[in-house]
Structure 1
Amino acid sequence: MTATTLSDPFSLLAAVIETAERAQALADAAMSAGQTKDALRAGDSVVKAAMAIWTRLGVEREDILRQVENTKDIAAALGRVIRDHPHLAEPLAEALETRERGDLAHEIRETAAAALASIEGNKS
């Protein structure tokens, strides 16, 4: 980062976003390679960069925490829906793939397959 970058808020914000994107790519690569500690460290850098962006934009910590809790609640509810109604998994998985989240689509499909196996096992 140059002195110009530090004095220009838009350049600073762009640099922080770029850093977060690089850290996310490192986290993804580390996770794919089974290097959990490295993935967690890189993920921590992503969080720190995001916090810097949010702070710069005036987003309050409480707003962030509320959004994280909302996201957790939605994820838990979706998991339950998929376990209870596995036939709903495929449209959700396809929607995730259009958002380039094949990793989550795969998890949704695995959850649905396990639920179907359990349902079939209970019928026997």
Structure 2
Amino acid sequence: HREAHAMQKDWMRQSGIEEEEKAPSIDNFEKIAAERVHLGLLVNELVLSRELKLDDEKVKTKLAEVTNAYPNGDEIRKMYEQNSELMDQLKSTVMEDQVVEWLTERSSFNEKEIEFKELINNNQ
């Protein structure tokens, strides 16, 4: 429920809405929030069980990617460096990327050509 509220607040901030009455109902965020929480738990379990460590170089690279997208990139970088919440979000994103990379390295895929109609029929 807390994640759904956080998502609603983020949506309000991004949309420039200040009055909660004008925001979409919290119910609109519940399903996505639950999925995000479940995904976070899975990522955390993999990090702990496989003893994955955050790569500081990847954090620096991601910070550069994010801040270089702005004309005032140096200011944005300083803002990140001075705001532990922003840095935690960035580190979380990097760790999720590392988990995906770890999983991809250990996965195998089989390519199979199928007709579009078959694909659609299998998903119904």
Kindly indicate whether structure 1 or structure 2 has the higher relative contact order, using CA contacts under 8 Å at least 6 residues apart: 2
Q: By percentage of residues, which structure has more helix?
A: 1
